[in-house]
A and B are shown apart, each in its own frame.
Chain A
Amino acid sequence: DAGVTQSPTHLIKTRGQQVTLRCSPKSGHDTVSWYQQALGQGPQFIFQYYEEEERQRGNFPDRFSGHQFPNYSSELNVNALWLGDSALYLCASSLRPDNNEQFFGPGTRLTVL
């Protein structure tokens, strides 16, 4: 039973570029949430996807967008990257949006130069 997987593991981009991160949820899960974890901080909620729609959003600008596919996998897109976007991006999945039990992937480390 595969857990949450994320790709790529590491990524280096320059300011102004765009990036796409990918996530496959745990088998049987239909809800995906994305978090940003800056160095020395706890994860911060970006948004949640369920039934291919964004259901909830944290305090992040429109540069952060996402998508969920029919197979429940998800993408996180960040446009116009700036230095402050450098962080570990975590994907978490759950069975339904109202389920407190979330399983996290290992994350994608994004470095913006």
Chain B
Amino acid sequence: DQQVKQNSPSLSVQEGRISILNCDYTNSMFDYFLWYKKYPAEGPTFLISISSIKDKNEDGRFTVFLNKSAKHLSLHIVPSQPGDSAVYFCAASSLQTGANNLFFGTGTRLTVIP
């Protein structure tokens, strides 16, 4: 039972344009959401997060939007750079199951074309 879903396995974007990565979840108890970036042969690296009490969080070129009614979140990267090419995982947690018990999506491979 996949509680966090990333329906786009891959995404290609031109350098300088916006990258939008999407994530849907089914468990309404999730109250904290995170995005991780993963390069080959490395572990996931934390990118940005958002609490369910907010609908937007921004950090430099990265912005995460949360739509609780639609159970949907998205990661916007503006402008996209070739170094952003990686696999991006969406993850969620709840107080009920614990902050460290992250439920991950299957990932979206982002390719930024120079």
Contacts and interface: CB of A to CB of B under 8 A. Distances in A.
Contacts of A35: 102, 104
Nearest to A97: B100
Contacts of B43: 4, 90, 92, 104-107
Nearest to A88: B43
A97 B99 contact: yes
B80 interface: no
Contacts of A105: 43
A56 B32 contact: no
Chain B binding site: helix, strand, loop or mixed by DSSP?
Answer: strand
Nearest to B43: A104
Interface in A30-73: 31, 33, 35, 40-45, 48, 55-56, 58
A44 B4 CA distance: 11
What bracket does the count of chain A residues touching chain B fall in?
Answer: 20 to 34
Interface in B20-72: 32, 34, 36, 41-46, 49
A48 B34 contact: no
Given A42-B106, A43-B89, A90-B44, A100 B101 contact: no
28 contacts: A4-B43, A31-B100, A33-B101, A35-B102, A40-B106, A42-B4, A42-B104, A42-B105, A45-B102, A45-B103, A48-B100, A48-B101, A56-B97, A56-B98, A90-B43, A90-B44, A92-B100, A97-B98, A97-B99, A98-B100, A99-B99, A99-B100, A100-B32, A100-B100, A101-B49, A102-B102, A104-B44, A106-B43
Given A42-B6, A94-B99, A106-B43, 20 more contacts: A42-B89, A42-B106, A43-B44, A43-B102, A44-B104, A45-B102, A48-B98, A56-B98, A56-B101, A58-B101, A90-B43, A92-B43, A98-B99, A98-B100, A99-B99, A102-B46, A102-B100, A105-B43, A106-B41, A106-B42
